[in-house]
Structure 1
Amino acid sequence: MTALVIAEHDNSSLKVATLHAVAAALQCSPQVDILVSGNGATAVAQAASQILGVRKVIQVDDVRLADQLAEPLAAQILAIAHQYEYILAPATANGKNVLPRVAAKLDVAQLSDITKVVASDTFERPIYAGNAIATVQSSDPIKVITVRTTGFDPAVASGGSALIESQVVTADAGRSSFVGRELTKSDRPELTAAKIIVSGGRGLGSGDKYQELIAPLADKLGAALGASRAAVDAGYVPNNYQVGQTGKIVAPQLYIAVGISGAIQHLAGMKDSKVIVAINKDPEAPIFSVADYGLVADLNVAVPELIATLT
Structure 2
Amino acid sequence: MMTKVLVWVEHDGAVVKDATLSAVTAAAQLGEVVALVAGSGVDGVAAAAAQIEGVAKVAKADDAAYAHALAENVAPLVVALMADYDAFVAPATTTGKNIAPRVAALLDVMQVSDILSVEGPKTFTRPIYAGNAIATVEATDAKLVVTVRGTAFAKANATGGSAAVEAVAGPGEAGLSTYVGSEIAKSERPELTSAKIIVSGGRALKDAPTFAATITPLADKLGAAIGASRAAVDAGYVPNDYQVGQTGKIVAPEVYVAVGISGAIQHLAGMKDSKTIIAINKDEDAPIFQVADIGLVADLFTAVPELVSKL
TM-score of the aligned structures, taking structure 2 as reference length: 0.98
Counterpart of 1:189 in structure 2 is: 190
Q: Could you list the per-position Cα deviations for residues 60-84 of structure 1 after superposition, in whole angstroms to 9, with x for gaps in the alignment?
A: 1111211110011112111111211
Partners of 1:124 and 1:172 in 2: CA distance: 36
Query: 2:147 corresponds to which letter in structure 1?
Result: T
Counterpart of 1:210 in structure 2 is: 211
Q: Could you list the per-position Cα deviations for residues 199-229 of structure 1 after superposition, in whole angstroms to 9, with x for gaps in the alignment?
A: 0000111111110010111111111110000
Deviant stretches of 4+, over 6 Å: none
Counterpart of 1:15 in structure 2 is: 17
Counterpart of 1:297 in structure 2 is: 298
Shift of 1:86: 1.1
Indicate if the aligned counterparts of 1:6 and 1:18 stay in contact, CA closer than 8 A.
yes
Counterpart of 1:307 in structure 2 is: 308
Shift of 1:250: 0.3
Partners of 2:143 and 2:168 in 1: CA distance: 22
Query: 2:77 corresponds to which letter in structure 1?
Result: Q
Pairing 1:1-311 to 2, within 5 Å after superposition? 1-29=3-31, 31-310=32-311
Query: 1:6 corresponds to which letter in structure 2?
Result: W
Indicate if the aligned counterparts of 1:257 and 1:278 stay in contact, CA closer than 8 A.
yes
Show structure 1 runs of 5+ residues with no match.
none
Query: 1:277 corresponds to which letter in structure 2?
Result: I
Residue aligned with 2:154, SS: coil
Partners of 2:125 and 2:18 in 1: CA distance: 22
Shift of 1:170: 2.3
Shift of 1:171: 2.5
Show structure 2 runs of 5+ residues with no match.
none
Indicate if the aligned counterparts of 1:82 and 1:142 stay in contact, CA closer than 8 A.
no
Indicate if the aligned counterparts of 2:128 and 2:135 stay in contact, CA closer than 8 A.
yes
Query: 1:289 corresponds to which letter in structure 2?
Result: Q
Query: 1:24 corresponds to which letter in structure 2?
Result: A
Q: Could you list the per-position Cα deviations for residues 248-301 of structure 1 after superposition, in whole angstroms to 9, with x for gaps in the alignment?
A: 000001100000000000000000000100000000000000000000000000
Partners of 2:170 and 2:82 in 1: CA distance: 14
Query: 1:260 corresponds to which letter in structure 2?
Result: I
Indicate if the aligned counterparts of 2:63 and 2:172 stay in contact, CA closer than 8 A.
no
Shift of 1:174: 1.0
Partners of 2:163 and 2:4 in 1: CA distance: 15
Shift of 1:169: 3.9
Q: Could you list the per-position Cα deviations for residues 72-110 of structure 1 after superposition, in whole angstroms to 9, with x for gaps in the alignment?
A: 111211111121111000000001101100000000000
% identity of equivalent residues: 61
Partners of 1:206 and 1:265 in 2: CA distance: 21
Shift of 1:41: 1.3
Provide the alpha-carbon RMSD of the alignment. 0.8
Q: Could you list the per-position Cα deviations for residues 136-185 of structure 1 after superposition, in whole angstroms to 9, with x for gaps in the alignment?
A: 00111110000000110111111100011112342243111111111111
Partners of 1:71 and 1:81 in 2: CA distance: 16
TM-score of the aligned structures, taking structure 1 as reference length: 0.98
Residue aligned with 1:269, SS: helix
Query: 2:266 corresponds to which letter in structure 1?
Result: Q
Shift of 1:242: 0.2
